Amino acid sequence: MHTEAWIQDAWDAAARKIAARTSRRIGAEFPHGSHDGRYQVTAPSYWTAGFWPGLLWLLYRDGGEPRLKQLAEACEERMDEVLADVGRLDHDMGFMWTLTSLANWQITGSAASARRAMTAASHLAGRFNINGRFIRAWNHPERTGWAIIDCLMNLPLLHWAAKHADDPRFRHIATAHAETAVRHFIRPDGSAHHIVRFDPETGERLGTLGGQGYADGSAWARGAAWAIYGAALSHAHTGRAEFRDASERAAAFFLANLPEDRIPYWDFRLPAAAQEQAPKDSSAAAIAASGLLDLAAAVHGDKQAEYREQATAILRSLTDRYRAGDDEEAILLHGTGNLPMGQNVDRPLIYGDFFYMEALAKLRGHSSFWSPQPQR
């Protein structure tokens, strides 16, 4: 496959930086947002724990440097204490063990990693609310009936488990949650609610919340990106057209509302006064670009070319205008983590770096760890 020179150059430059510099300082820790040029690290129980080992697996799969594999494995082992203490975990087990144990299993066939991924999938399936047909997001008692758009990204772990254990219950749960997300989260215009509240007893939809967005009814940019990518993945795992159509609706909204440089502000529906000083979210752009490449694979002809071109244009803008220099160990500048909480606003974010590299890897012909995999 022919790879345009700038794509190969962008991959090589970032891979060199991570291997020669960032990985030597971070080691087997769990970086999240970068401050003053250095990633700050978090606990192995935090939802972002998988992105650094996932990035290391992307690089190891490409270049085969044993040290990067060892670091990824050390992160995975450090997460064992969390896997054994399920009360510290929420629905983001999918993010966490897809990019550690499932990635390891895909690359090395590790039986220990498959056991970890099955354990995480079982805990995740245990969060399913049968009456509401959703996976419970968080653990706080008043949030028993809350589900969030991000959870679409946790479903591939369940699809993998269904195949690995030859047990369709995992697939049934993933598919039921995806149906709920398409029905209740993705609005007719393609924008997405961050949080939907259900009655945890009856399953009745009670209302929506703005969550990490500007307000209830606004359009949080990263949520819009999770909708594109997550729905495309549900289509890839089930073949059901309604999930592809939902991803297309989310993509149409995202692409139609991008500013001139194709990198969104942190929320697409900010009042004019708030927009003037608003930070961008480069992580939303990277996630959307990677998701658009999967969506391109789900359609044909002009549409396929269009999604691929749009994804490539976003990645080109990230590369030309948002890449960090030598004073920064991260790859991408200008991510926004959680603006309403004042966390990691206008900073590099590890998931921005991960999805940027994942998308470049796709343009170089590789698949992602979230995609359907042949069983071993």
Nearest C-alpha neighbor of 50 from the set 92, 9, 84 = 92
Q: Per CB under 6 A, does 32 bind ligand GLY?
A: no
For strands 38-41 and 128-129, give the pairing.
unpaired
Q: Exactly one of 62, 80, 90, 92 is catalytic; which is it? A: 92
Nearer to ligand GLY, 162 or 224 (CB): 224
Q: Exactly one of 90, 150, 281, 353 is catalytic; which is it? A: 150
Any idea what DSSP says for residue 323? B
Beta bridge partners of 33: 349
What does the block give as tokens for 92? 């983001």
Supply the DSSP string of 145-202, one letter for each residue: TEEEGGGGGGHHHHHHHHHHTT-THHHHHHHHHHHHHHHHTB-TTS-B-SEEEE-TTT
Nearer to ligand GLY, 89 or 114 (CB): 89
Nearer to ligand GLY, 212 or 247 (CB): 212
Q: Are 174 and 127 in contact (CB under 8 A)?
A: no
Nearer to ligand GLY, 150 or 294 (CB): 150
Q: Shortest approach of ligand GLY to residue 280 CB, angstroms?
A: 15
In a 13 Å sphere around the CA of 272, the CA atoms on its Cβ side amount to 0
**How crowded is residue 213: how many other Cβ atoms within 10 Å of its Cβ?**
28
Query: CA 363 to CA 81: how far, in whole Å?
Result: 36
Residues 216-235 that bind ligand GLY (CB under 6 A): 222
Supply the DSSP string of 236-253, one letter for each residue: HHH--HHHHHHHHHHHHH
Helix (H/G/I), strand (E/B), else coil: 372:
coil
326 is catalytic: no
62 is catalytic: no
Q: Which of 29, 73, 90, 150 binds ligand GLY (CB under 6 A)?
A: 150
Q: Which residue in the shown chain puts its C-beta closest to ligand GLY?
A: 150
Q: Shortest approach of ligand GLY to residue 266 CB, angstroms?
A: 11
Q: Are 373 and 114 in contact (CB under 8 A)?
A: no
Nearer to ligand GLY, 174 or 339 (CB): 339
Q: Shortest approach of ligand GLY to residue 337 CB, angstroms?
A: 7
Q: What is the residue whose two structure tokens read 């590890």? A: 350
- The 168-207 contact track toward ligand GLY, x by CB under 6 A, reads ----------------------------------------
Q: Per CB under 6 A, does 47 bind ligand GLY?
A: yes
Q: Shortest approach of ligand GLY to residue 227 CB, angstroms?
A: 11
Q: Shortest approach of ligand GLY to residue 148 CB, angstroms?
A: 7
Residues 66-95 that bind ligand GLY (CB under 6 A): none
Binding site for ligand GLY (CB under 6 A): 47, 150, 212, 222
Where in the sequence numbering do the catalytic residues fall?
92, 150
